[in-house]
Chain A
Amino acid sequence: MATKGERILEVRDLVKHFPLTQGIMFKKQIGAIKAVDGVSFTLDKGETLGIVGESGCGKSTLAKLLMALERPTSGSVMINGRDMARAKGGELKRMRRNIQMVMQDPYTSLNPRMTVGDIVGEPFDIHTEVAPKGDRSRRVQELLEVVGLNPDHINRYPHQFSGGQRQRIGIARGLALQPEIIVCDEPVSALDVSIQAQVINLLERLQNEFNLAYIFIAHDLSVVRHISDRVGVMYLGKFVELGKDVEIYDKPAHPYTQALLSAVPVPDPEGREQRERIILQGDPPSPANPPSGCRFRTRCWKAQEICAEEEPLLQIRPGTQHESACHFAETHDVVHVG
């Protein structure tokens, strides 16, 4: 077992291109959707890395790559020093015990024809070495209790539960194998706002209890700020900025992050007066044909010639303490609160 602060996940230059093909009988590749295009980050034991970005920026593909549900085009996903992206068969199955997932939609992520006991107990059926057979139903009941559900409900079916409760069932399933990493792919965006808070609090409590590391993917910046230690901002398959949550939220350096933050609703009417609104023009370009150089340059108000010619690397820039991928990075507090 790794202690807190130890590095457990290292993602390096992860790339996933989905081929675009043409023709029925003889398929010809005419291009590729560059869903994830060179993503690198690390994750320590007990840490939460939030990943934000708009729809289609590759967040969910990144989650699938981390879970080895998709194979990367290139790059590596090292978990405790072993490459998950290249593992096969029994080794992959063993590695899966260490990284689990909480899915977005609690209405489709649970098999409607399995009882809650079967759903939460399925990890033990697959990884029989984790719990002896006679012990399983007790373990399932413990898990239900841990996530705040009534352990007597193991014989119920998913449709007998509310959305928030279903998400708790999904979390219990993720916890069953006692993983060190849990990938949460928009775990609260399908829930009511009041239920979101409960689920977030549950995730935080479980993190403290089991020293879990989270990859927390969301498009809701407030939720991500609340739970994350570090935040990565994605745009068109790449990180544009990566740093501690205070750095990202209070001193954003990349223009895209600044624009994103300026769109966060501010609950305080006076704060709302103060903050500036940066409104981006146009839509994100197609990931099949991203712009040359900096991918954000087509919508950026700072863009100059160098942005089209030279791709800005994700690195610590002068005047900032965290990594950003912009030639003209400068910190700028957009929100003016907190």
Chain B
Amino acid sequence: MSRDTPQTGPVQPETQTVTTDQVTTAPSPGKRRKQKEGKPASLWSDAWHDLRRRPMFIMSLVLIAILMVMAFWPSLFTSINPLDARTCELATARQGPSTGHIFGRDNQGCDVYARTIYGAKNSILIGVTTTIITAIVGGLLGLIAGSRGGVVDTVSSRVTEVFFAIPMILGALLITATFRGQDMGIWIVVMALAVLSWPMTFRIMRAAVITARSQDFVVAARALGASQGRIMFRHLLPNALAPVIVVATINLGGFIAAEAALSFLGVGVQPPDISWGLMIADARSRFLEAPLPLVFPAVFLSITVLAFIMLGDAVRDALDPKLR
């Protein structure tokens, strides 16, 4: 068939065109989900259908559920209340695991298991809320800056550069120290960490949006007369979300660790309150003598971070139709 002699009329009969189409369609019937009649699919509903059968998603959800129960109803897991100083015996400090104290005892002679369970609340709250705030604030501003461009982009990018110039711990120290008298509990830590880390999410989102913006489907949407909001939320956001999800879930562990550093420096969560970061910082000095008081909260911290990274990974994959 030659295209170079087009003056000879239709090059190929239309009927044949249709057949070719049906042949070249790769249906892969085994992988495709049967759709109910009259119920159109969308990215989010397809992603949800896909997520429900992903073992990684189920596993991460179960883990997160257990951690949440642990955080809000710690007495379900242990009969010892570590906030009560009477449960600690200095004489038994750094004792190994024994009946009733399966994780052993820490430097103060307190039960490591009970403290790990009770520490979940502060650590998870700080990690999760900081992550959510940075993802929403940084993501939204990045989306606006990336899709608007021009002056909005220049101004917001310069502002984030100011925040980048502030060292994380020093800045957090400054903020927490300033608001120390306000008795805001862990929320001051959340605020300090969020204020200093949203620029990271902002930059990633902005870069991803700028990449997506130059693609033809955005031009096509503009040619259709789509509003700025529709282009941002229907076209740019779904195509720029993946790297933000990945970085946000990885950062979650970083926030829990940063809270530990702040506690160690005397701001943030303070004894007798408990957090994993505080426990790790506390056990670090005697790690060679008694490694277990450090190992157990660290393992719980790792499991939490892992659960959220798995969740983020599963969501990211489900939102990419090519990976389904």
Contact = CB atoms under 8 A, between A and B. Distances in A.
Interface of A: 67, 69, 92-93, 96-97, 100-101, 103-105, 108-115, 117-118, 122-123, 125-127, 137, 148-150, 153-155, 157, 159-162, 164-165, 168, 170, 173, 177, 193-194, 196-198, 200-202, 204-205, 222-223, 225-227, 264-267, 338
A225 B217 contact: no
Given A113-B320, A114-B43, A122-B221, A222 B4 contact: yes
Given A198-B12, A201-B17, A267 B2 contact: yes
Closest A-B pairs by Cβ, 8 of them: A226-B6, A157-B321, A197-B11, A109-B216, A155-B41, A93-B225, A96-B225, A108-B216
Given A197-B12, A222-B6, A112 B21 contact: no
17 contacts: A69-B223, A96-B223, A97-B225, A100-B223, A104-B216, A110-B217, A115-B42, A115-B46, A126-B226, A149-B21, A159-B321, A160-B25, A197-B11, A197-B12, A205-B14, A227-B6, A338-B7
Interface string B309-324: 0000000000111100
A115 B41 contact: yes
Given A122-B224, A223-B3, A267-B4, A137 B321 contact: no
Nearest to A264: B4
A48 B265 CA distance: 75
Contacts of B226: 122, 126
Question: Chain A: interface secondary structure?
Answer: helix
Contact of B225 (A92, A109, A155): A92
B40 A154 contact: yes
Contacts of B215: 108
Contacts, number: 146
Given A162-B24, A201-B10, 20 more contacts: A103-B219, A105-B216, A108-B215, A111-B235, A115-B46, A122-B234, A123-B224, A126-B227, A148-B17, A148-B18, A155-B41, A157-B321, A159-B321, A198-B12, A198-B17, A222-B3, A225-B7, A265-B4, A266-B4, A338-B7
B41 A113 contact: no
A153 B25 contact: yes
Interface in B211-248: 215-217, 219-227, 230, 234-235, 238-239
A218 B41 CA distance: 36
Contacts of A200: 6, 11
Contacts of B76: none
Interface of B: 1-7, 10-12, 14, 17-18, 20-22, 24-26, 35, 38, 40-43, 46, 215-217, 219-227, 230, 234-235, 238-239, 319-322
A196 B11 CA distance: 10
Contacts of B320: 112-113
B214 to A, nearest CB: 9
B82 to A, nearest CB: 47
Contacts of B217: 108-111
Contact of B40 (A103, A105, A115, A122): A115
Contacts of B14: 148, 201-202, 205
Contacts of A266: 4
Given A126-B230, A155-B41, A205-B14, A113 B224 contact: no
Max count, chain B CB within 10 A of own CB: residue among A96, A114, A266: A114
A2 to B, nearest CB: 21
A160 B32 CA distance: 11
Contact of B322 (A110, A112, A197): A112
A202 B10 CA distance: 10
A148 B22 CA distance: 9
Nearest to B5: A267
A155 B35 contact: yes
Given A112-B322, A113-B320, A222-B4, A126 B40 contact: no
A96 B227 CA distance: 13
A109 B25 CA distance: 19
Contact of A196 (B3, B21, B42, B46): B3
A69 B214 CA distance: 13
A113 B225 contact: no
Nearest to B35: A155
A154 B230 CA distance: 21
B244 to A, nearest CB: 14
A325 B207 CA distance: 46
B26 A160 contact: yes
Contacts of A193: 1, 3
Max count, chain B CB within 10 A of own CB: residue among A122, A164, A204, A225: A122
B220 A173 contact: yes
Given A205-B14, A267-B2, A161 B41 contact: no
Contacts of A122: 221, 224, 226, 234
B216 A165 contact: no
Nearest to A338: B7
B223 A67 contact: yes
Nearest to A155: B41
Nearest to B226: A126
Nearest to A249: B7
Contacts of B42: 115, 118
A198 B20 contact: yes
A102 B292 CA distance: 66
A109 B41 contact: no
Contact of B25 (A100, A105, A161, A170): A161
B235 A126 contact: no
A63 B32 CA distance: 39
A113 B321 contact: yes
Contacts of A155: 35, 40-41, 46
A226 B8 CA distance: 9
A202 B224 contact: no
Contacts of A265: 4
B150 to A, nearest CB: 12
Given A113-B321, A155-B41, A196-B3, A150 B22 contact: yes
